[in-house]
């Protein structure tokens, strides 16, 4: 069984996202990350023969899975969705009718021990979405000082024991045994974290923080939202599915900021800069979906529409 087939993935908010996104079947759309293509295949089923779908993913395994889609309307880019403007421009597309950003880590990434995303397995501490470039989580922990490690764990994991975890990591490294596996990290965190919410593994927040940092996920999200806004045609839709509060806060703030007229205080008599987005909906998975797919429980989908006013 190949790497692209060994682990299944259930797409979250599949019908809701496609229904919210596609307002013009002949239009051009962006899907990122591709993951294992649940949204992409459903989108292609809704698009007319003249429609186009450009997907993005940094994960080589996801790109390989996308190669199985034999459809002239579809193309995959081995790149972050933050780079969508350049990639679309290279294909002669200046405007799109919709952008879908599904920010979740795919089940094949979590369930494949070799990727190092999960504390459920003992494996090399990698955590990179793109395994062809960049530093691994283990390399970051081996090179960063205690302050940098603490900052990452506190800010990206919202972990109140970040100082204790960082101190323990550096002490172990200085003792000649730097953390290099998921099992080693999970055990170290379990000793450093004194209390945790019922049902949550002590390592959950630390693993999330390192994954976000290694892949620059929040920076990519901010860049991707700006790129999407610039690319959306009037009445085009922005649909974003977030899976934790840090992501959702960025999306919520972005939509709110772009959904109001802005007055330049330096020129109070000048016309206000008109809003560029209109918030449409906030959608959570149904109880039935969460029961069938527990990984959907934290998902929040936000939908916004591009206004008629030019940027």
Alpha-helical segments (H) within 132-266: 137-143, 146-157, 162-174, 182-192, 204-214, 217-231, 245-258
Residue 85 CB-density burial (10 A; 0-12 exposed, 13-18 middle, 19+ buried): middle
Instruction: Fold for 135-213, please state it.
Output: DNA polymerase; domain 1 (1.10.150)
* 251-265 pLDDT per residue, tens: 999 999 999 876 556
Round to whole Å and give the CA distance between 18 and 36. 16
- Say yes or no to pLDDT of 292 above 90: yes
* 78-110 pLDDT per residue, tens: 999 999 999 999 999 999 999 999 998 887 888
Rg (CA), the chain: 21
Cis peptide before 33 (omega within 30 of 0): yes
**Residues in contact with 279: Cβ distance below 8 Å, sequence separation at least 6, in sequence order:** 255, 256, 259, 302, 303, 304
* 259-289 pLDDT per residue, tens: 987 655 666 666 666 889 999 999 999 999 9
Per cent of the chain over pLDDT 70 is 93
Round to whole Å and give the CA distance between 238 and 17. 10
pLDDT at 145: 97
- Do the beta carbons of residue 79 and residue 58 sit within 8 Å? yes
Helix (H, G, I), strand (E, B) or coil at 121: coil
- Say yes or no to pLDDT of 233 above 60: yes
Instruction: Fold for 14-108+217-306, please state it.
Output: Rossmann fold (3.40.50)
Can you give the residue ranges of every domain in the chain? 14-108+217-306, 135-213
> Mean pLDDT in the chain?
92
């Amino acid at each position: 069984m190949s790497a692209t087939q060994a682990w299944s993935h259930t797409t979250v908010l599949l019908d809701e996202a496609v229904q919210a996104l596609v307002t013009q079947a002949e239009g051009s759309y962006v899907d990122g990350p591709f993951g294992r293509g649940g949204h992409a295949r459903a989108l292609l089923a809704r698009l007319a023969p003249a429609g186009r779908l450009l997907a993005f993913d940094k994960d080589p395994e996801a790109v390989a899975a996308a190669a199985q889609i034999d459809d002239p309307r579809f193309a995959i880019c081995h790149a972050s969705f933050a780079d969508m403007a350049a990639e679309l421009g290279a294909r002669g597309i200046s405007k799109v009718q919709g952008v879908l950003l599904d920010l979740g880590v795919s089940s094949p990434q979590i369930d494949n021990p070799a990727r190092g995303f999960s504390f459920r397995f003992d494996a090399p501490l990698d955590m990179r979405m793109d395994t062809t470039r960049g530093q691994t989580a283990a390399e970051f922990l081996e090179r960063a000082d205690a302050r940098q490690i603490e900052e990452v764990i506190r800010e990206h994991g919202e972990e109140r024991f970040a100082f204790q975890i960082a101190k323990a990591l550096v002490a172990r490294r200085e003792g000649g045994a730097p953390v290099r596996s998921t099992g080693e990290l999970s055990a170290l965190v379990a000793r450093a974290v004194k209390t945790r919410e019922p049902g949550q593994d002590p390592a959950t927040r630390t693993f999330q923080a390192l994954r976000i940092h290694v892949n620059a996920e929040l920076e990519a999200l901010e860049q991707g939202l700006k790129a999407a806004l610039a690319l959306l045609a009037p009445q085009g839709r922005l649909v974003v599915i977030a899976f934790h509060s840090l992501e959702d806060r960025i999306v919520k703030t972005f939509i709110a900021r772009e959904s109001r007229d802005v007055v330049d205080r330096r020129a109070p008599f000048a016309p206000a800069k008109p809003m560029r987005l209109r918030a449409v909906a906030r959608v959570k998975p149904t109880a039935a979906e969460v029961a069938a797919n527990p990984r959907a429980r934290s998902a929040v989908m936000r939908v916004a529409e591009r206004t008629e006013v030019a940027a």
